[in-house]
Structure 1
Amino acid sequence: MAGETVATALAKAIGRPAFIYGTAWKKAETTRLVQEALASGFTAVDTAAQPKHYREDLVGKALRNSFESDIISRERLFLQTKFTAPGGQSLSNIPYNPDDELQVQIETSVKSSFRNLRPREETESENETYIDCLLLHSPLDTLESTVQAWKVLESYVPKRIRHLGISNVDLQILQGLYDSVEIKPAVVQNRFIPMTGYDVELREFCADKGIMYESFWTLTGNPNLLRLESVQDLAAKVRVAPEVGCYALVMALGITTLNGTTSTEHMKDDLAGVLKVQEWASEHPEEWQKAKDSFRTFIGAMSKIDTLG
């Protein structure tokens, strides 16, 4: 709603571990997997108007099926999608004409998202579609064009789009964007990987400005994290999988985490496991603090190594 922060909106929707179900690369299985995720307890979904990697239309079908069967209501769902510029699209399958001027590209893409994510099968219901957060999938070629795109998206806020964000962004561009626009970024969604130094400085900027940081590739890009003593020790004490221990420690850094598992068992286990860690943490605050400190120290050390090398 107008005036509500994205963190508040997400907390209202989730009310549980800060997972967002990621729908990239699910292809024809998208509808089934999104429905299974919602039935398992996920209440936040991330997609994109990028047919190359996402089936936003099938995400919408899954949502409508879930609304109709009372698995979840639209009011309880946090729904996030993206505008992807031509450079990130397959030009043989793109939701707008890449030869159009930027404003028309964005307006056509957003209209396709409203249609894909409509609340009911009737096409007229696309007029009722609202999106909790819409991200620029990446910065455009220049800061000027990125700001131009952002200002087009601002025209939809707060009625049809509640919040705006950006993905795949570095600190310099984020700062430039923040300083140049009226409606400030509410979300940054980035790869959480050693190559970027785990975005330590960027995450500090986000925390200072009240921007939610969302991580993806949290497990895929981090086999090293799963082997950490802090992760292994936590998993053993709480009796959860190391992957769950890693998710819990990443969340302890103030990060909202995308989870794109295709296993129904893992959907349930990840949600239940992080809650189990949180319960254990409340009963063992000193051990939890030690695990968090060790994990945070490693992340900070990797950031310094990346900067130096």
Structure 2
Amino acid sequence: MSSHTDAAASSTTGFNHRVPSLIYGTAWKKERTTELVVQALRAGFKGIDTAAQPKHYREDLVGDGVRQAVRDGLARREELYIQTKYSPYAGEDAPYNAHATIAEQVQQSVASSLHSFRSLLETDGPDQEPYLDCLVLHSPLPTLSQTMEAWTAMESFVPSKIRTLGISNTDLRTLVTVHEHAKIKPSVVQNRFYPATHYDVMVRAFCNGNNIRYQSFWTLTANPHLLVSSPVRTLASEAQISVQAALYSLVIGLGNVSVLNGTTNEGRMRKDLEEVERVQQFKSSDTGRACWQKCSTDFERTIIMRG
């Protein structure tokens, strides 16, 4: 193994435990992005998800929000998990030259992202350059060759500018292939959690077997039927939490899973964080242990049947 790969591998040691269970999602926040990022960090979020894709994200305003929160003492950079994405075919407003090679597009996209998150540390200097905790390939490209060209370009930033890599909107076959060919293996998979993909049962199994953190999005929007399912309602009632927090907790309870949360209500931000933490205490208590075991077992059975 090369020294570059050794360094990259060592940088990911113990990585997954640093990915928060709830990550604040910044898509579609538009001009409210800065305000909402500050609210999320004030509420207690430690993870921020964004992308260098101006059509759906204002990554520059995410950076402004994080800078404001750090300046105001709401968070320190080293406490935060910040991930961005390189988005193939991002459109006319992409932060890269659409006519450039894929590798050049990745380089330009990452440069844009690093600029968005500049000056987050207390002092400037050669050792205080901006970095991101994860760079996610927003979607596979049409061919394996193109996908691996993008991945290889992403690898060139690890571990100094980018700590770890991930892939989003992927199926199992693509994930396995990227994992087999990559020098720096995926640390994150971010997918829709919904019936059309059978709730990614096989993808999540692969992730569990290969130290990859699965990140669920569309968790509430795509699953109104789960919000009214028996295990979710039972957990909400017994733990005295909302059905939304009960669903988040059961998805997290599937193992090695984080959930993206994009609420625009600061009270809801706090409540979701507090109630998910409350479930951790509930399921470890004498009164809650049996309830949690039954609800989690029933939940897994429910998503298998629904999927």
- Asked if structure 2 preserves the Cα contact closer than 8 Å seen for 1:47 and 1:82, the reply is yes
- Asked if structure 1 preserves the Cα contact closer than 8 Å seen for 2:134 and 2:166, the reply is yes
| Alignment of 1:28 onto 2:47 | no
| Alignment of 1:11 onto 2:17 | yes
- Asked if structure 1 preserves the Cα contact closer than 8 Å seen for 2:16 and 2:213, the reply is no
Instruction: Give CA deviations for 1:212-260 in whole Å, capped at 9, x if unaligned.
Output: 1000000011001001011111111111111111111111002111001
2-side partners of 1:172 and 1:34: how far apart?
Answer: 35
1:100 match: secondary structure: coil
What is the deviation of 1:9?
A: 3.8
Paired residue for 1:294, among 293, 298, 303? 298
Q: TM-score normalized by structure 2? A: 0.92
Alignment partner, residue 259 of structure 1 = 261
2-side partners of 1:300 and 1:290: how far apart?
Answer: 16
1-side partners of 2:100 and 2:146: how far apart?
Answer: 14
Alignment partner, residue 97 of structure 2 = 97
What aligned pairs does 1:218-257 form with structure 2 within 5 A after superposition? 218-254=219-255, 255-257=257-259
Give the 4+ runs in structure 1 shifted more than 2 A: 8-14, 124-127
| Alignment of 1:132 onto 2:133 | yes
Whichever structure has more helix as a proportion of its residues is: 1
| Of 188-197 and 101-110, the range deviating more from structure 2 | 101-110
- Asked if structure 1 preserves the Cα contact closer than 8 Å seen for 2:19 and 2:258, the reply is no
What is the deviation of 1:39?
A: 0.3
Structure 1 residues 232 and 145: CA distance shift in structure 2, 3 A: same
2-side partners of 1:21 and 1:4: how far apart?
Answer: 23
What is the deviation of 1:4?
A: 4.2
1-side partners of 2:125 and 2:165: how far apart?
Answer: 23
- Asked if structure 2 preserves the Cα contact closer than 8 Å seen for 1:49 and 1:81, the reply is yes
| Identity of matched residues, % | 45
Superposed CA RMSD: 1.9
Q: Which amino acid aligns with 2:294?
A: K
Alignment partner, residue 152 of structure 1 = 153
What is the deviation of 1:12?
A: 4.1
Alignment partner, residue 161 of structure 1 = 162
- Provide structure 1 residue ranges, at least 5 long, that are not aligned to the other structure: 304-309
1-side partners of 2:274 and 2:243: how far apart?
Answer: 14
| Alignment of 1:142 onto 2:148 | no
1-side partners of 2:274 and 2:136: how far apart?
Answer: 29
2:235 match: secondary structure: helix
Paired residue for 2:71, among 49, 68, 83? 68
